[in-house]
């Protein structure tokens, strides 16, 4: 047996428990999101979703700051464990409120915010933790397989909610769903206990920047590493466009008819998205990433968003809006997420967590907040959602954001090789050599 085959099988054995953790986490996140979204729309109303999105994004800024402070100063395995156990406990507590039928509206808002924070923050910490196990070349092959665990978890979570809701249509299922979500969290904790700890942040006595502010580290990288700046601008533009397209999909879906028909169509589009994302992750993403190369990988999502805006604008009804939703979500989770995870593997171990938090949480949050700001301004100007010019206006904004993201992705490709020579992108040992060469020049 060759050394390469042995290494590949070893990497796969390490990938299986990591994929299982991601599956369980995304499963409980999908359950919580389904319960929160459906309950909020029915009890409070869909027209309030934009404002709730803004509230969740503001909460994300606060929690991202907290994670950014600790992610490179505490063992990453411990941080993953804390997030998993805390989420399970919170879902169990909210399940008790649903069971007792106490403060249900407030519980739905809290559940929506919690599910959103888990969806955004857990991957940041998880992928920083996973990067401790693989070199960059291994990560490009293995990370699409691990990321497929997220797709599987979303599929299973939605199957559980849809299946039980169809079978037990007259039963109040929110407490049961919260119990299932909490159980998934405890199961993920059990898997985590069997994952060996390795890598992680440098000890305080060995890391000169262990006491430095996370914001200062991020600012230094954004200012001095052009490729990071380009990736951040690309991701911001893409996230803005994707959320605008998601709003269009939900707005069209809400007019589809009865609640049962809406649920059936939502399940159909969600199932198509999950199946196509899994196919992309399992069959092609890893090989394509190696062929295309990281520096040309980041234009896929803004390109898909631009195409989705054209489809949603010129193809009427669910055909256009649904196609745009499926296309952007498949590219986002099947291609863009593994590409960003592979890029983060290039970052120094002692700073990787803070940069990953900036890219995956702060940038995504600001992009989504930009989309909410656009929607809120247009809705206020239209006096509601009935104006004929409203949809073309925000779809046009989505197309412009996608085009801007494509331009930024070209800048990423142009400065990628130069940025890789920056001493900030290397390990401590390599960094000292490159910094000395830079000083000699």
User: Do residues 182 and 218 both lie within one domain?
Assistant: no
Nearest to 392 by CA among 380, 404, 400, 403: 400
In a domain, 204, yes or no: no
Instruction: Give me the domain span that covers residue 367.
Output: 214-441
In a domain, 344, yes or no: yes
**At 103, is the secondary structure helix, strand, or coil?**
coil
User: Do residues 102 and 229 both lie within one domain?
Assistant: no
User: Do residues 402 and 329 both lie within one domain?
Assistant: yes
| Residue range 96-150, pLDDT digits in tens | 888 888 787 888 888 888 887 777 778 777 777 777 776 656 666 677 778 778 7
Report the alpha-carbon distance of residue 121 to residue 81 in Å, rounded.
Answer: 13
User: Do residues 237 and 268 both lie within one domain?
Assistant: yes
Question: Which residue has better confidence, 74 or 181?
Answer: 181
Nearest to 39 by CA among 92, 87, 118, 101: 101
Using the structure block, give the residue that is written with the tokens 């830079």: 438
Mean pLDDT of the chain: 75
Q: What CATH number did the domain enclosing 271 receive? A: 1.20.1250.20
Q: Which of 63-67, 305-309, 326-330 has the lowest mean pLDDT?
A: 63-67
304 token code pair: 């898909």
The predicted model gives 27-43 an average pLDDT of 77
User: Do residues 224 and 301 both lie within one domain?
Assistant: yes
Nearest to 178 by CA among 267, 88, 110: 88
| Residue 440: pLDDT band with limits 50, 70, 90 | very low
What predicted TM-score, i.e. pTM, was given to this entire model? 0.71
User: Do residues 189 and 228 both lie within one domain?
Assistant: no
| Residue 26: pLDDT band with limits 50, 70, 90 | confident
Nearest to 215 by CA among 227, 223, 206, 207: 223
In a domain, 205, yes or no: no
The predicted model gives 367-384 an average pLDDT of 85
- Measured CA to CA in angstroms, residue 369 lies from 40, 60, 227, 245, 406 at distances of 20, 10, 23, 14, 20
| Residue 240: pLDDT band with limits 50, 70, 90 | very high
The predicted model gives 187-203 an average pLDDT of 68
Question: Which residue has better confidence, 252 or 255?
Answer: 252
Q: Is the pLDDT of residue 156 over 80?
A: yes
Number of domains in the chain: 2
Q: Is the pLDDT of residue 308 over 90?
A: yes
The predicted model gives 170-177 an average pLDDT of 74
The answer to whether 31 and 177 have CB atoms below 8 angstroms apart is yes
In a domain, 69, yes or no: yes
| Residue 245: pLDDT band with limits 50, 70, 90 | very high
User: Do residues 190 and 279 both lie within one domain?
Assistant: no
Query: How many alpha carbons fall within 13 Å on the CB side of residue 152?
Result: 16
Q: Is the pLDDT of residue 209 over 60?
A: no
User: Do residues 226 and 180 both lie within one domain?
Assistant: no
User: Do residues 263 and 372 both lie within one domain?
Assistant: yes
Q: Is the pLDDT of residue 269 over 60?
A: yes
The predicted model gives 227-235 an average pLDDT of 83
Q: What confidence score (pLDDT) does residue 207 get? A: 40
Q: What confidence score (pLDDT) does residue 306 get? A: 92
In a domain, 201, yes or no: no
């Amino acid at each position: 047996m060759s050394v390469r085959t042995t290494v590949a099988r070893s990497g796969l054995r390490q990938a299986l428990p990591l994929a299982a953790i991601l599956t369980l986490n995304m499963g409980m996140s999908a359950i919580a999101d389904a319960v929160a979204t459906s309950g909020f729309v029915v009890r409070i109303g869909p027209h309030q979703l934009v404002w709730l999105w803004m509230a969740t994004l503001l909460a994300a800024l606060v929690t991202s700051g907290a994670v950014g402070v600790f992610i490179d100063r505490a063992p990453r395995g411990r941080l993953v464990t804390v997030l998993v156990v805390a989420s399970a406990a919170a879902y169990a507590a909210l399940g008790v409120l649903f069971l007792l039928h106490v403060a249900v509206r407030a519980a739905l808002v809290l559940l929506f915010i919690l599910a959103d924070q888990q969806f955004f923050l857990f991957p940041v910490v998880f992928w920083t933790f996973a990067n401790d196990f693989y070199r960059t070349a291994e990560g490009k092959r293995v990370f699409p397989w691990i990321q497929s665990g997220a797709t599987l978890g979303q599929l299973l979570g939605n199957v559980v909610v849809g299946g039980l809701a169809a079978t037990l249509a007259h039963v109040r299922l929110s407490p049961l769903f919260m119990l299932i979500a909490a159980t998934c969290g405890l199961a993920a904790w059990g898997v985590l206990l069997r994952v060996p700890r390795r890598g992680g942040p440098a000890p305080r006595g060995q890391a000169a920047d262990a006491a430095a502010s996370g914001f200062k580290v991020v600012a230094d990288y954004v200012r001095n590493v052009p490729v990071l700046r380009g990736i951040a601008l690309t991701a911001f533009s893409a996230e803005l466009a994707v959320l605008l397209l998601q709003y269009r999909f939900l707005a069209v879906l809400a007019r589809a008819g009865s609640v049962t028909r809406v649920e059936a169509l939502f399940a159909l589009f969600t199932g198509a998205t999950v199946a196509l994302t899994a196919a992309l992750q399992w069959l092609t993403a890893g090989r394509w990433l190696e062929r295309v190369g990281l520096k040309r990988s980041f234009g896929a999502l803004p390109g898909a968003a631009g195409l989705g805006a054209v489809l949603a604008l010129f193809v009427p009804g669910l055909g256009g809006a649904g196609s745009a939703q499926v296309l952007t979500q498949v590219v986002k989770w099947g291609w863009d997420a593994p590409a960003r995870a592979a890029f983060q593997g290039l970052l120094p171990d002692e700073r990787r967590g803070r940069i990953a938090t900036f890219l995956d949480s702060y940038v995504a949050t600001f992009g989504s907040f930009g989309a909410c700001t656009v929607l809120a301004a247009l809705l206020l100007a239209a006096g509601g959602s009935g104006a004929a010019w409203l949809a073309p206006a925000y779809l046009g904004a989505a197309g412009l954001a996608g085009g801007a993201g494509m331009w930024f992705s070209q800048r990423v490709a142009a400065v990628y090789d130069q940025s890789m020579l920056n001493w900030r992108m290397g390990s401590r040992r390599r960094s000292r050599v490159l910094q000395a060469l830079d000083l000699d020049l």
